[in-house]
């Protein structure tokens, strides 16, 4: 039985990855932070299911605390380590740049060091991000596209990217980066734009609110399905040699298109009016404002367009996405509709 350790197991990706590895017969250990309220909703089913509960273990630890990381790595002695933990919100990283740097950048080195000291033969996956491309010099972006980070989050992820490469080159460790483009799901945090919109669509449909207020409608992202992307993480660690891979669908859409697609799922067609911070999207026919813009959601520096060229992952790992944008939006809206009851 292979043993894997996942940091960030309570997050969107951590929960899908734990499911995938357990389905493959792994013993899975996750690092959880102490919180005053339980935040394990995404993994509770794995702790309850008789098919998985005996192979799924949680340990307290924090990327800010090197001793806890060393202890858990030493106790578990994993063959595979997936470093998914991070302060992962780009917008919030502008408000908390120092904290973001401590967790999302230095936290990676704390974990790399724990692995180097205790289980140097383990394979380590580092959750790198398409945010590294930032003000991208070319579209689509691949492994040779230069990096130009545009936020404290992206700067921290850049540090972690190179830390993983450095441990590979300096110590011969199997440390690999997945440069993942945006990936979403019904388990996405509610303050990322996809879930913010699909949740609002469900609440509007159920008569609980009237509109959703957003920031930049023009930003374009390559949105894929998280379930597909955790499979890529596993393939990256199963590869012959440690390497870095771009993972994304190759399709790009704007936030505006995302709004249109999500509202269309409940039969609402949007008509846009005005521009910039005064723009609104009205429901055709009724005239009710369903989307408003508030500049408070604009970021001090924006990433305008991301689109993946994942040819290397296709060639070397045999990875291809299975869920396209319309299906992803439908899945998320339907899931939120099922969760949000009529008042
Ligand atoms: P997420 O839902 O925000 O989950 C983040 C996880 O990190 C949570 O389990 C969180 O624990 C944990 N965490 C945060 N700070 C920690 C700390 N100091 N010590 C230990 N654990 C900590 O993120 P995600 O969407 O699953 O993304 C997973 C990783 O991939 C992140 O590193 C993210 O930056 C990166 N990434 C994500 C995407 C994407 O589109 N989703 C794309 C590229 C890269 P709590 O539950 O206790 O908060
Ligand atoms: N969150 C949010 N909220 N974003 C908004 C809003 C809003 O109200 N209105 C417009 N946006 C725009 C943001 O300005 C950004 O251009 C785009 O929607 C996507 O924002 P997020 O969903 O917050 O994701 P992100 O692209 O910044 O970051 C996500 O993907 C990265 C990979 O490219 C996160 O998951 C990162 O952790 C990840 O590395």
DSSP SS3 for 139:
coil
Residue 97 CA, ligand 2 centroid: distance in Å: 16
Residue 31 has a pLDDT of 98
Closest C-alpha to ligand 2, atom 29: 182
Sequence-distant (6+) residues with CB within 8 A of 44 are none
| CA pair distance 138, 146, nearest whole angstrom | 9
What is the number of the ligand 1 atom nearest to the C-alpha of 10? 9
| CA pair distance 340, 145, nearest whole angstrom | 42
The alpha carbon of residue 215 and the mean position of all alpha carbons in its chain are separated, in whole angstroms, by: 20
The residues with which 123 forms a beta bridge, in sequence order, are: 80, 174
Is ligand 2 within 6 A of the CB of residue 257?
no
**Are the C-beta atoms of residues 172 and 341 closer than 8 Å to each other?**
no
Give the DSSP letter of residue 317: I
Calculate the dihedral angle through the C-alpha atoms of 303, 186, 10, 51, rounding to the nearest 10 degrees.
-140
Residue 290 CA, ligand 1 centroid: distance in Å: 30
Q: What confidence tens digit (pLDDT) does each residue in 131-144 have?
A: 999 999 999 999 99
Q: What confidence tens digit (pLDDT) does each residue in 210-238 have?
A: 999 999 999 999 999 999 999 999 999 99
For the cut 80, the answer to whether the pLDDT of residue 48 exceeds it is yes
Residue 138 CA, ligand 1 centroid: distance in Å: 27
Calculate the dihedral angle through the C-alpha atoms of 46, 47, 50, 54, rounding to the nearest 10 degrees.
110
Residue 280 CA, ligand 1 centroid: distance in Å: 32
Residues with CB under 6 A from ligand 1: 7-8, 10-14, 31, 33, 35, 39, 62-64, 84-88, 103, 127, 129, 180, 182-183, 189
Calculate the dihedral angle through the C-alpha atoms of 325, 160, 11, 228, rounding to the nearest 10 degrees.
30
What pLDDT band is residue 342 in, cutting at 50, 70 and 90?
confident
Pocket test for ligand 2, best of 90, 134, 195, 217 (most atoms within 8 A of CB): 90
Closest C-alpha to ligand 2, atom 25: 90
Nearest CA among 190, 179, 249, 259 for reference residue 219: 259
Quote the mean pLDDT of the chain.
Answer: 98
| CA pair distance 281, 204, nearest whole angstrom | 14
Give the DSSP letter of residue 146: P
Ligand closest to CA 31:
1
**Region 307-326 average pLDDT:** 98
Residue 104 has a pLDDT of 98
Ligand closest to CA 277:
2
Residue 177 has a pLDDT of 99
Is ligand 2 within 6 A of the CB of residue 216?
yes
Is ligand 2 within 6 A of the CB of residue 298?
no
β-strands 253-254, 220-221 pairing: antiparallel
Closest C-alpha to ligand 1, atom 33: 88
Ligand closest to CA 187:
1
Residue 130 has a pLDDT of 98
Q: What confidence tens digit (pLDDT) does each residue in 171-198 have?
A: 999 999 999 999 999 999 999 999 999 9
What is the number of the ligand 1 atom nearest to the C-alpha of 130? 43
CA distances from 151 to 81, 134, 177 (A): 26, 8, 19
Closest C-alpha to ligand 1, atom 45: 10
Closest C-alpha to ligand 1, atom 34: 88
β-strands 3-7, 27-32 pairing: parallel
Is ligand 2 within 6 A of the CB of residue 131?
yes
For the cut 80, the answer to whether the pLDDT of residue 343 exceeds it is no
Q: What confidence tens digit (pLDDT) does each residue in 265-306 have?
A: 999 999 999 999 999 999 999 999 999 999 999 999 999 999
Nearest CA among 217, 163, 234, 195 for reference residue 21: 234
57-61 long-range contacts (CB < 8 A, ≥24 apart) are 57/27, 57/28, 57/29, 57/30, 58/9, 58/29, 58/30, 58/31, 58/32, 59/29, 59/30, 59/31, 59/32, 60/31, 60/32, 60/33, 60/34, 61/7, 61/31, 61/32, 61/33
Calculate the dihedral angle through the C-alpha atoms of 91, 97, 100, 105, rounding to the nearest 10 degrees.
120
For the cut 80, the answer to whether the pLDDT of residue 152 exceeds it is yes
Closest C-alpha to ligand 2, atom 9: 215
Residue 341 has a pLDDT of 85
Residue 85 has a pLDDT of 98
| CA pair distance 224, 228, nearest whole angstrom | 8
Ligand closest to CA 299:
2
């Amino acid at each position: 039985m292979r043993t894997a350790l996942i940091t960030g197991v309570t997050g969107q990706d951590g929960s899908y990855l734990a499911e995938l590895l357990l389905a493959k017969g792994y013993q899975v250990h996750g690092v959880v932070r102490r919180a005053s309220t339980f935040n394990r909703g995404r993994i509770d089913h794995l702790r309850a299911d008789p098919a998985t509960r005996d192979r799924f273990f949680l340990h307290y630890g924090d990327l800010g605390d090197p001793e806890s990381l060393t202890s858990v790595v030493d106790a578990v002695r994993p063959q595979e380590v997936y470093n998914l933990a991070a302060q992962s919100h780009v917008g919030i990283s502008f408000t908390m740049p120092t904290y973001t740097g401590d967790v999302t950048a230095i936290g990676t080195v704390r974990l790399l060091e724990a692995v180097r000291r205790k289980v140097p033969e383990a394979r380590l996956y580092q959750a790198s991000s398409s945010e590294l491309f930032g003000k991208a010099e070319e579209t689509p972006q691949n492994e040779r596209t230069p990096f130009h980070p545009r936020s404290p989050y992206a700067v921290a992820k850049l540090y972690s990217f190179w830390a993983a490469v450095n441990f590979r080159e300096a110590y011969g460790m199997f440390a690999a980066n997945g440069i993942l483009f945006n990936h979403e799901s019904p388990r996405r945090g509610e303050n990322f734009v996809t879930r913010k919109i699909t949740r609002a669509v469900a609440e509007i449909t159920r008569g609980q609110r009237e509109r959703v207020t957003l920031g930049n409608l023009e930003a374009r992202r390559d949105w894929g399905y998280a379930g597909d992307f955790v499979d890529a993480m596993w393939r990256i660690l199963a590869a012959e040699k440690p390497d870095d891979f771009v993972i994304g669908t190759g399709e790009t859409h704007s936030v505006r298109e995302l709004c249109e697609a999500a509202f269309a799922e409940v039969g609402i067609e949007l008509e846009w009016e005005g521009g910039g911070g005064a723009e609104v999207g009205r429901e055709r026919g009724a005239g009710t404002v369903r989307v408003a813009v508030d500049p408070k959601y604009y970021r001090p520096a924006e990433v305008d367009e991301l689109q993946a060229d994942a040819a290397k992952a296709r060639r070397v790992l045999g990875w291809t996405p299975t869920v396209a944008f319309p299906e992803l939006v439908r899945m998320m809206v339907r899931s939120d509709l099922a969760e949000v009851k009529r008042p």
